[in-house]
Amino acid sequence: MTSLQDNIIQEEVRQEIITRLRAAELEHDVRILYACESGSRAWGFASPDSDYDVRFIYVRKPEWYLSFDVERKRDVIEYPIVDEIDCGGWDLRKALYLLTRTNGALLEWLNSPVQYIESGTTAQSLRRLAPVVMNPTALCYHYSHMARGNAREYLFQEQVKLKKYFYVLRPLLAIRHIEAGKGVPPVEFARLMDAVAPAHLVPSINRLLELKRNTAELGMGARVPEINDFVEAELNRHGTAFSGQGRPDSEHKQAVYEQLNAVFREAVGSGRAR
């Protein structure tokens, strides 16, 4: 583990998470290829009482996929939150399909700064293919939906839910990152802010960050005018560019389907020796 990961996740918590992941492998007869931290702890603005959002990609034995009814089989594993640890994962087949749809959550998983398990080359291969498969407009759809929903519900009153600023700022900055041609946005909020945040906003954002990281339950407070102005300006600038039904598919998905199939076959085949 890197020093960054050690700072975010205490060693005893990390070991408990790995224990639960290994137990999930036994319970469901799967092999976890990749597991990481998602959400505020990966983004870098967790509160002292934030949950641990553990997400993973798993693969089953070959015969599970060689079934006439594979399309009807459950392709997720979910557990209730226990002791602030929230574990859930996707079957590799589902993850590969979502990669072709430029799924924002999956891209964040793959680039999380906090990794618990990385077995084999699957995650590395998906990181390599992600910039090729990614449709920038589709990823902007994802972040725009997130920003508009949180802004509409939490930020347009005199008293606002302060932590929700980050759930609006982060996707808006991610869109700026994509529009600037910088590729998949970094997961860490600080890196994203350094890359594309307007300089005049940085002091206000940093003050909110300090509050968020040190307050167990960051509640209501007075709106921050300069941040609200930025949010409204960005949403108005986007207009209807990222709205409507559906999202555009990857522009290059046909060219990489065989590569994704190779990733899938290698992952499934490597489990034959278990």
Locate the domains of the chain by residue range: 3-129+252-269, 136-238
Q: Where are the alpha helices (DSSP H) in the chain?
A: 3-8, 11-28, 40-43, 62-65, 92-100, 104-110, 122-133, 136-154, 164-179, 189-196, 202-214, 225-238, 253-269
Q: With contact defined as beta carbons under 8 Å apart, do 112 and 7 qualify?
A: no
Q: How far apart are CA 118 and CA 239, in angstroms?
A: 40
Q: Identify the pLDDT of residue 217.
A: 67
Q: Residue 224 and residue 187: Cα distance in Å, rounded? A: 24
pLDDT tens digits, 34-83: 999 999 999 998 887 889 999 999 999 999 999 999 999 999 999 999 99
Judging by DSSP bridges, how do beta strands 52-59 and 85-91 pair with one another? parallel
Residue 199 three-state SS? helix
Under a CB-based contact definition with an 8 Å cutoff, are residues 272 and 62 in contact? yes
Burial bucket for residue 235 (CB in 10 Å: 0-12, 13-18, 19+): middle
pLDDT value of position 51 = 92
Q: In what order do the strands lie in the sheet with 115-118?
A: 76-78, 85-91, 52-59, 31-38, 115-118
Q: Is the pLDDT of residue 245 over 60?
A: no
CB 87, CB 56: distance < 8 Å: yes
More confident residue, 259 or 211: 259
Distance CA 139, CA 269 (A): 31
Which is it for strands 85-91 and 159-161: parallel, antiparallel or unpaired? Answer: unpaired
> Which two three-digit tokens encode residue 156?
């347009």
C-alpha closest to that of 52 among 38, 71, 62 = 38
User: Residue 218 has what pLDDT?
Assistant: 65
pLDDT digits (tens, 9 = 90+) for 95-146: 999 999 899 999 999 999 999 999 999 999 999 999 988 889 889 999 999 9
Let me know: does 145 contact 250? Beta carbons within 8 Å.
no
Q: Binning pLDDT at 50, 70 and 90, where does residue 4 land? A: very low
Task: Dig out the tokens for 88 from the structure.
Answer: 């859930």
pLDDT of residue 132: 87
pLDDT of residue 250: 57
Would you say residue 7 has pLDDT above 60? no
- Which pTM was predicted? 0.90
- Tell me, what's the pLDDT at 1? 30
- The residue among 248 and 194 whose pLDDT is bigger is 194
Quote the tokens at residue 232. Answer: 């409204």
Cα(233)–Cα(248) distance, integer angstroms: 25
What pLDDT does residue 267 have? 97
pLDDT of residue 48: 79
- Which of 87, 89, 92 has the alpha carbon at shortest distance from 64? 92
Q: Quick: pLDDT tens for 164-210.
A: 999 999 999 999 999 999 999 999 999 999 999 999 999 999 998 88
CATH class of the structural domain 3-129+252-269? alpha beta
Q: Which two tokens stand for residue 126?
A: 């998906």
Query: Which amino acid is it at 198?
Result: P
Looking at residue 246, what is its pLDDT? 55
- pLDDT band, very low/low/confident/very high, at 162 (cuts 50, 70, 90): confident
H or E element at residue 45: none
